[in-house]
Amino acid sequence: MLAQAVILEEFNYCAVPFPFANVANILYECKGEQIDRFLRPVIDGDKTTCFAQTEANAGSDPGGMMQTKAVRDGEGWLLNGTKMWISNAFGSDIIMVQAVTDPEKRQRGGITMFVLDRHTPGVNIDPTGLPTWLSGRTSQYIVNFDNVRLGPENVLGEVGKGFSLGQRWLTIHDRLLRGPYALGKMQRALDMSIAWAKQRVTFGKPIADRQAIQWKLVDMHVDITALRSMTYEMAARADAGEDVRAEVAVVKMCAGDWGARTLDHAIQVHRAMGESLELPLTGFYRLLRHAQIGGGTSEIQRVLIARKLLVG
């Protein structure tokens, strides 16, 4: 995870997405024929995945409010339900989806993770998606499952243990990696702001000479330094096998909050040019503002952190 964090920070310094094998950590739970069918093609970069947990009324409380269900059908399952705000669903090849398999137990042994091909009969995705302000292309989709027949080979991990797998995906693949995702953009924004402040002259001198600008640059640098330190530490602790759920919540919260703040400073330093679509700053800002919502809101991260502080 530490090596991945360092590399992804460099990737995210650029406004042009780098192609790389984005292997969801829970795919390593694949066994038997699942390895060749689902895991290896993703490692090789031949196939991509999406993670389907969120529903219209089950965002921050997926365990208690999830309505998508899978019921036994002989040796297999019938999957029905609707997932919403699923990133990159239409362009993905493989879907990892959570479904309730025991309504009484729910997140305590009653939710199962299934892995399936996106083109499985009964899987329907509206290609128009859910337009947002995040980019010029749609990346969020509604996924409908209508009597999707699945076999035991589609169960990822163990029956009833899917909620813990989902939390592992959120903890590592989403929340921890929000750190380098934000850091690359934040560092690019700071570097651009320093260069602009040195060359932009007003009233006879560079704006870099003005304290108002200097302090914004300092605030940006402090946020980046602090976020990088905690991100790398938590990645190293995750590599050591520690339970870092609450600590990763700090990384995720700060990546969103500080990231949006840093890009806001950068746009202000650039003034009118900061709003120009010729620069990547507005695009970075939208993505980092979204980081305060996607993968668990900043408020939910505070709940997780408080629980660790008060309960342990």
Domains and CATH numbers, the chain: 18-158 (2.40.110.10), 177-311 (1.20.140.10)
pLDDT bucket at 39, cuts 50 / 70 / 90: very high
User: What's the confidence (pLDDT) of residue 20?
Assistant: 85
- Residue scoring higher pLDDT (207 or 19): 207
Classify burial at 215, counting beta carbons within 10 Å of its beta carbon; exposed 0-12, middle 13-18, buried 19 or more.
Answer: exposed
Do the beta carbons of residue 45 and residue 80 sit within 8 Å?
no
| Average confidence (pLDDT) over 16-32 | 91
Strands of the chain, DSSP E: 49-52, 69-73, 76-87, 94-100, 111-117, 123-125, 140-150, 155-156, 201-202, 205-206
User: What's the confidence (pLDDT) of residue 59?
Assistant: 76
For 43: left if phi > 0, alpha if psi spans -120 to 50, otherwise beta; the answer is alpha
| Average confidence (pLDDT) over 60-70 | 90
Share of the chain above pLDDT 70, in %: 100
pLDDT, tens digit (0-9, with 9 covering 90-100), for 98-121: 999 999 999 999 999 999 999 999
Q: What tokens appear for 288 in the block?
A: 């980092």
User: What's the confidence (pLDDT) of residue 295?
Assistant: 87
| Average confidence (pLDDT) over 53-75 | 91
Using DSSP's 3-state secondary structure scheme, residue 117 falls into strand
Global confidence as pTM: 0.92
Measured distance CA(133)–CA(54) in Å, rounded: 19
User: What's the confidence (pLDDT) of residue 260?
Assistant: 98
pLDDT bucket at 278, cuts 50 / 70 / 90: very high
Mean pLDDT across the chain:
95
The alpha carbon dihedral of 215, 13, 244, 105 has a sign of positive
Q: What tokens appear for 134 in the block?
A: 């995040």
pLDDT, tens digit (0-9, with 9 covering 90-100), for 80-91: 999 999 999 999
User: What's the confidence (pLDDT) of residue 176?
Assistant: 96
**Residue with token string 């060749």:** 36
| Average confidence (pLDDT) over 40-47 | 96
Q: Is the pLDDT of residue 190 over 90?
A: yes
Q: Is the pLDDT of residue 64 over 90?
A: no
Q: Is the pLDDT of residue 135 over 90?
A: no
User: What's the confidence (pLDDT) of residue 55?
Assistant: 94
User: What's the confidence (pLDDT) of residue 58?
Assistant: 81
